[in-house]
A = this chain, B = another copy of it.
Amino acid sequence: MLDVLKPHYPNAFDFSITLADLDEDHRVKLTVVEVDKKTETVILVIEGRDIHYDAIIEAIKEMGATVHSIDEVEVEGTNSTV
């Protein structure tokens, strides 16, 4: 569970699709928790086998957003949720 600050574009739908497409079995859930003039704060949950944390952070940055904090991590064998 990541706390992320993103600009309005790409919108939440395109933003989620991009992260889900990073790997074949990624499941992405995005919840908008606050909307400001130019930005919105979203909570991201990304679930998958063999998650590459750095690649996710990289993709988030490329869309103009920043990760404020990691709020929750779950690891079970090769599956993880961040």
Seen from chain A, the residues whose Cβ lies within 8 Å of a Cβ on chain B are 11-17, 19-20, 24-25, 27-32, 35, 53, 69-77, 80, 82
Contact of A32 among B16, B53, B69 (CB under 8 A): B69
Task: List the B side residues contacting A17 at CB < 8 Å.
Answer: 75, 80
Contact A72 B28 (CB under 8 A): no
Contact B11 A74 (CB under 8 A): no
Contact A16 B75 (CB under 8 A): yes
Contact B13 A53 (CB under 8 A): yes
Contact A72 B31 (CB under 8 A): yes
- Which residue from chain B places its CB closest to the CB of A17 in the assembled complex? B75
Least Cβ–Cβ distance between A35 and chain B, in angstroms: 6
